A and B are shown apart, each in its own frame.
Chain A
Amino acid sequence: MLSFDALWAAAALLLFLPFHLWLRHRRPVDHHVGGLQPFQKMAQSGSAHSRRRPWSYWLLLLAFLGTTFALMGPRGGGLEPLLIVDQSLSASLQAAPAPNTFHGETRTMGSADEVVTHREIFAALGQVQPGRDVTVWTDLPKPMGLPDTIDWQDARVAEQALAHGAILQAKAIDRGTWLVHWAQRKGNDGMLVASMDEVLPLEGTRGVRKLTPQGSGRTISLSGQGKGRKTFQSFALKTIGVVVEDGMHPDWLAVFQAIDPNLFFVPIVNEAQQGIQGPYPALSMDGNAQPRPQAWDDIPWTEAPTPDLIASLARSWPVMAGEPRDSREVLPILEAPTFPQNTMAALQKQQGQPPKWMTLLVLLSGLCATAGWLGLPKPAYSSSAV
């Protein structure tokens, strides 16, 4: 749907009225005579087409209409609305927009492994066609100074419900010892709690601590306190088991142990009891069968491991794979940034600009009309009546 920034500029069309009347006044007056003898020597050319308006008139009218249209500031230009959806980890945890409720183009940004920040969204907005209506769905706070054409749907949960700290990753480095990556908001007095006897106060905003959870809980917690409100986030350590069979080369067990010192091996006694079916080795997590990594199909388990095969196994290890979670995702920023002035100026400048073809048309029309008024090219003199 075509809309205009300055619809009042359509009033400029009225300016053409006095110009049109002036042209009518300048137009030759129809005069019927009984004879043409005394006028023959002063005849002008073009008499046969005098009823038609000169081509320069139509060009000028076209230029005038184009200028008026540009003054009105057309927006949209028939472009369908655009929905930018933040699909990063933190945003995907919120209620996503129903796909059927939006009619227009949808673009997604980020993923569970790809962080989306204001910078990425601003970059995407800078590439949107000028004047196009855009809706941004994200859990990032709405920036200040946002243009009117951008609808920022803030999908964040209430600020009070946001965690003050988070455990980014917990990785076993030794049997019973875990390496914990943590992060907390500035000003938060957080603590890592592995057991009643092991409470580690945290300093700074992020860091790595070694913990040795005791007992069978295998749970690490991060408590935080900020602005008088306590939050508590738990991180359950996964117990990974590898179901092995007798035919495997024994060195592979050492490799598994090196990758994850906390794992345990499950010998096959009865497939039905284990609930796990071949091929082997297979994975279980907290006693539940897990999908076997595809890379394991290419590993000759009966042969001794080679460095390449070990690396392949390490890459496919579900806990070992990947980096610690990005703190920007688990601890969303609270401060709303300001929409960059250069992007906003570019958008506003583009909104006020007519399409290039129209600008070119207006310029050409104006030039041609001027040439027409000046009588260029000069017509050949003709005294013959039509």
Chain B
Amino acid sequence: MNSELFPRTFFVELARRRAAAASAAPGQRAVQLSGSTLPGYERRAWQRGDRRRQVDWRATARAGRTMVRQMEHERGGFLHLVLDRSASQAPGTADRDVAQRRLALALSWLALEDGARVRIHAGTTSSALFSGWSRRAAVLPFLRDLAAPEGTDALPALATRTASGSRLHVLSDPWLSDAFRDDWAKRARGFRHRRWTSLLLPTEVEPPRERMQLTDVESKQQLQVDLTRDYAAFRQAWDLLTRSRRLSLQQAGFRPTDLLCRSAQTDAAALLRRAATHAVL
């Protein structure tokens, strides 16, 4: 599953994105910064003044002397990454689900390397906090083990009071209703930076020109359409829907971005490149 969801090309591209970001700011690189905020990955010998809870007992047993986890400095703010895990995330294909997990990993990874804390809200039930440069590797199994998208639209309730510099990034699909999106956007006003990335499937942007039996994966409603005849009408309705969605997000203080999710098997690295192009990463 690891190799399928996060293939090697994905990490190669992620490292390239990180290097590109570092080169943009001369002197920066992914290193831990000593501090007092978070227990870090590095160990050192116990010194006077270290707290008992800092002692790494396993490392102490291996080294034969008392070792403690070196504290790191958290300087990158707080990223709240919200993942829409409703059934509309994967309507007949898992491409969007996979793209969402990959983007979430990339965003978390880069944020953690920047010294930020990351809380991932996956739907309404699953939530995890990741902090520290060394915790990057823990994000992967969390995202890998997420349950398949199911149910109707339900985004998590966020804390009304957020830390200074907290950022909110929602990875969703384009199928949230205006009323639901507006209602939820009101509760996200505590975030200074708000981004909303709508992940689009190619078949949503350009559905096949044929007679189709449509099934809403959330409501199970069915509809029969003939796009061999009504394709122009669909394009008009889709463009209207897209403009309406972007406008409402902008009005709610979000920076909306539409990102195309191609085939999950071949789109691992290209997805990150497109995300970087659209400034999602």
Contact assessment for A35 and B223 in the assembled complex, using a CB-CB cutoff below 8 Å: no
Name the distance in Å between A37's Cβ and chain B's nearest Cβ: 6
Given contacts A36-B223, A43-B223, contact A31 B233 (CB under 8 A): no
Q: Which of B22-30, B33-41, B128-136, B207-215 interfaces with chain A?
A: B207-215
CB distance from B90 to the nearest CB of A (A): 9
Check B224–A36 contact: CB distance below 8 A: no
| Chain A residues in 8 Å Cβ range of B247 | none
Interface with B: A45-53, A62-70, A328-336, which one? A45-53
B221 within 8 Å of A (CB atoms): yes
Min C-beta distance of A54 to chain B, whole Å: 13
- Is there contact, CB below 8 Å, between B226 and A44? yes
CB distance from B182 to the nearest CB of A (A): 16
- Interface size class on chain B is 35 or more
- Select which of A33, A42, A50 is within 8 A of B91 by beta carbon: A33
Contact indicator B215/A44 (Cβ below 8 Å): no
Q: Which residues of A contact B210 (CB under 8 A)?
A: 28-29
Which residues of chain B are near A33, meaning CB under 8 Å?
88, 91-92, 175, 204, 214-217
Q: Are B217 and A28 in contact (CB under 8 A)?
A: no
Q: Report the tally of A-B residue pairs with Cβ distances under 8 A.
A: 106
Distance between B264 CB and nearest chain A CB, rounded to angstroms: 16
Q: Are A385 and B225 in contact (CB under 8 A)?
A: no
Using Cβ atoms and an 8 Å threshold, which residues of chain A touch B240?
A: 38
- A41: interface (CB < 8 Å): yes
Which A residues touch B47, using CB under 8 A? none
The reply on A26 being an interface residue by CB < 8 A is yes
Task: Mark out the residues of chain B between 214 and 243 whose CB falls within 8 Å of any chain A CB in the assembled complex.
Answer: 214-218, 221-227, 230, 233-234, 237-238, 240-241
Can you pick out 8 interface pairs between chain A and chain B where the beta carbons lie within 8 Å of each other?
Answer: A26-B211, A29-B211, A29-B213, A33-B91, A33-B216, A38-B241, A39-B234, A386-B223
The interface of chain A, by Cβ under 8 A from chain B, is: 26-48, 50-51, 385-386
Question: Assuming A33-B217, A39-B214, A42-B227, what are 16 further A-B pairs, CB within 8 angstroms?
Answer: A26-B211, A28-B224, A29-B208, A30-B212, A31-B207, A33-B91, A34-B173, A34-B175, A37-B237, A38-B237, A40-B223, A42-B225, A43-B224, A45-B224, A386-B222, A386-B223
